[in-house]
Amino acid sequence: MEYFSIWDFFLVPAYILLAWVISARIAQKRREKLPHYRFYHWGLLYKIGGALALCAIYLFYYGGGDTTGYFRSALVLRNLLFEDPGTYLSILSNNLTPENFSAFTNETGYPIYYRDPNSFTVVRFTSVLMLFTTGSFLQASILTAIITYSGVWRLYLMFVEMYPKNDTLLAVAALFIPSVAFWGSGVLKDSYTMAAAGWFIFAFYKIFFQRRRILLYGIAIVVSIYVLISIKAYIFFALLGGIMIWVAFYFLNKLKSGFFRLFVLPILALMFWGLGQYIIFNIGEYVGSYYTSMDALLQKAIITQDDLTRAYYGGNSFDLGELQPNIQSILSKAPKATIAGLFRPFIFEAKNPVMFISGLENTALLLLLFWVIFKTGLRRFIGIMFEKPVILFAFGFTILFAFSVGLTTANFGALVRYKIPLLPYYVGALFIIYHIAQKRKAQDNGEEISESSEQV
């Protein structure tokens, strides 16, 4: 099966040019009233570049991988549409039965990942995009980048609505992190989950805090949850945990009395802990049997970690120590797992050029944390974090996600991909803290600078 088409010489430049012209026109129309739209077309072009870089690395360095597997299976599924439209629509609705699989023939080809509903969701979604291509890997990757950019842009919009004077640094966080553009733009799970996460958080912000377009954004939340649960349910659960922290401290900050805050905090913590467990374990039958109980979830974490240390993943693994399926053992690994999820692989752990580049970025992420704390001061850093619930949400999601990924992903090759959903939130939170601290330092020096009244 070919990954390129003669049509690529015409259609790939055409797709990129069309995306650039349309996005540049949108930016030009809106940037007068909304200056941050000056990044709109550049962010899209950067994401398309990430998709093309991913294609090049997987085809010419790795010699294939998940992204090519998804593409090939999506092409097979598209072929089925022209042979048996009814069965195609049935499979598209996630009806992955043996009877439907029997509809594939030597003429259509046979898809892989059919027995893995999470992976095959990428195939289902991509097969729709394949209808607008000539069967080319490059075309499919570019269209995936263009379609999924909307979710990335929504996350940026949420941040910049709160802190419009910090739009440049927030653009770096949401749009221009290299690994996010690389791993989160092509035909991979991460492209769809990054987009869904951005839409989910943006829609929640609009409904809960601004009370705007409740029906429209309610639909966006439902669709986003479906995409996340269908592909990587743990991203949704980590976002849910972060949102609970966000909402809890939003209401706590409205209480004037410090005594009442201390009284209400443990009540909210217990309430949200119970609500979180109820949501996770009651939808477990839809997202996998390992989400139906705490014991099953812990056992799944151990199995996943053990699997990713196997030799067939390239031996690029690290060891957190022996894990047991109990809370005490899992929590004892929390510091190491969280650091791994955020900052590993370190440069000295890299064994190939791709890992070395990732190590450079991880070093930058670690230095950014130290730099912001140094410029802000540790006391003010912590004070701003607890004063602004959105920062607590971003850090809460970051820590929960880094812990879960670092605990279960004992392989650097997988880790550099799995961690990318947390990066815009982590970097965005640090830039917001820096922005607020700089404003307050200026005010302390007698300068009159209005600070955002945003309290969410």
pLDDT of residue 295: 47
The pLDDT of residue 124 is above 90: yes
pLDDT of residue 352: 82
Distance CA 52, CA 139 (A): 10
pLDDT of residue 294: 45
Three-state SS string over 321-369 comes to CCCCCCHHHHHHCHHHHHHHHHHCCCHHHCCCHHHHHHHHHHHHHHHHH
Quickly state the pLDDT bin for 318 (edges 50, 70, 90): low
Quickly state the pLDDT bin for 90 (edges 50, 70, 90): very high
Average pLDDT on 300-316 reads 54
Quickly state the pLDDT bin for 453 (edges 50, 70, 90): very low
Q: Which two tokens stand for residue 191?
A: 């492209």
Range of 264-273, 342-351, 421-430 with top mean pLDDT: 421-430
Contact 243, 275 (CB under 8 A): no
The average confidence (pLDDT) of the chain is 84
Contact 427, 368 (CB under 8 A): yes
The number of CA neighbours under 13 Å toward the Cβ of 394 is: 28
Give the tens place of pLDDT for each residue, 234-291: 888 889 888 888 887 777 766 665 555 555 555 655 565 565 555 655 555 555 545 5
Average pLDDT on 78-90 reads 94
Distance CA 70, CA 381 (A): 43
The pLDDT of residue 312 is above 60: no
pLDDT of residue 292: 43
The pLDDT of residue 177 is above 90: yes
Quickly state the pLDDT bin for 91 (edges 50, 70, 90): very high
Quickly state the pLDDT bin for 186 (edges 50, 70, 90): very high
Percentage of residues in the chain having pLDDT higher than 70: 80
Distance CA 56, CA 50 (A): 10
DSSP 379-447: HHHHHHHHH-HHHHHHHHHHHHHHHHHHHH--BHHHHHHHTGGGHHHHHHHHHHHHHHHHHHHHHHTT-
- Of 33-42, 412-421, 438-447, the one with minimum mean pLDDT is 438-447
Give the tens place of pLDDT for each residue, 10-29: 989 999 999 999 999 999 99
Quickly state the pLDDT bin for 293 (edges 50, 70, 90): very low
Contact residues for 65 (Cβ-Cβ < 8 A; gap 6+): 58
pLDDT of residue 29: 92
8-state DSSP, 452: P
Give the tens place of pLDDT for each residue, 361-398: 999 999 999 999 999 999 999 989 888 889 989 998 99
Distance CA 146, CA 128 (A): 14
**Which residues is 317 bridged to in the sheet?**
411
In the block, tokens 């439209």 appear at 85
The pLDDT of residue 48 is above 90: yes
Three-state SS string over 60-106 comes to HHHCCCHHHHHHHHHHHHHHHHHHCHHHHHHHHCCCCCHHHHCCCCC
pLDDT of residue 154: 96
Q: Which two tokens stand for residue 431?
A: 């830039």
